[in-house]
Structure formats: structure tokens, C-alpha cells
Amino acid sequence: MKTYHGSCFCGEVRFEADGDLAEGTMRCNCSFCRKMRYWEMRLSDPAGFRVTAGQEHLAETPRRNGDDIDMHHRFCLQCGTRLWTEGNIADLGGRFVMVCVSALDDATEAELIAAPIYYADGAHDAWWDPAPETRHL
């Protein structure tokens, strides 16, 4: 477990996230993740996430694929950098926080190269199932 520090491109929003890239990361085949080239690290404990600066510069991309899923994609209003997703989905174990790997300032190249990637089938709201095709993700 490591406390990573993350930020947006312009530096207005900063956060800390207690996680471990070696425990795995995720890419998804849903329309949002495909468009954003989203690569995330799920935190084992959502309480291990802290915004340290720039709360007032945050915005959210609303979920468009149904009202039954509590999922909030956060980004910086100033520069548009994707930062994290948080929500509460029973099928995913309840409350969660997933940070964008690309927003981690102190993740080493070695950690990023070694991080396992799980490819999820979010296109069918079945994140627990592997995506049938991953070459485009």
C-alpha cells in the first residue's frame, strides 16, 4: 500500500489516494471509458481518498446509460483532466473510488509497467465479466 499523490494538468485540483498498482488496474469497454481512454486503480478502501486542493474546480460527467447506477466521473473545470470516479454499485461491492492512473503524479514507470490490467465488460454493465475484446482498449 502506498499513498499516491495526484493532480490535474493545470494543478488546480490535487488529491491523495491510498492504493497499490500491483493489486491491479482496470480498463473498460463501455462508451465512456473508450472515449476517455480511461485506466483506473480501484482503492481497496474508499476512505483512502482525499481531495487536498481545488474542490471548487471539480465538475462531473453525468452517467448517461440509466438512472439505476450511482457513478460520478470527476474532472477539472480548468483543464479538463479526468481525475477519479466514485459511486455506489451493489454489484461492485458497494461504495467505491477509482482514480485515473494518468492523474497519479508519483507512480513510477516501473509501477505502471508492472501493474496488471483487468479488462471489464462495462458495455453490458457486467464489470465482473471480462470484456470479450480488448485490443482497442
Q: Does residue 137 lie in a domain region?
A: no
Q: Does residue 116 lie in a domain region?
A: yes
Q: Does residue 136 lie in a domain region?
A: no
Q: pTM, whole model, 2 decimals?
A: 0.89
Q: pLDDT (tens digit, 9 = 90+) per residue, 49-65?
A: 999 999 999 999 876 55
Termini Cα distance of the chain: 27
Whose CA is closest to 121, among 36, 27, 29? 29
How many domains, the chain?
A: 1
Q: pLDDT (tens digit, 9 = 90+) per residue, 66-123?
A: 556 788 999 999 999 999 999 988 877 889 999 999 999 999 999 999 999 999 998 9
Q: Does residue 81 lie in a domain region?
A: yes
Q: Does residue 20 lie in a domain region?
A: yes
Q: Does residue 33 lie in a domain region?
A: yes
DSSP code string of 36-49 = HT--EEE-SSGGGE
Give me the percent of the chain exceeding a pLDDT of 90.
73
CATH number, domain containing residue 26: 2.170.150.70
Q: Does residue 86 lie in a domain region?
A: yes
| Domain housing 49 | 2-130
Q: Does residue 70 lie in a domain region?
A: yes
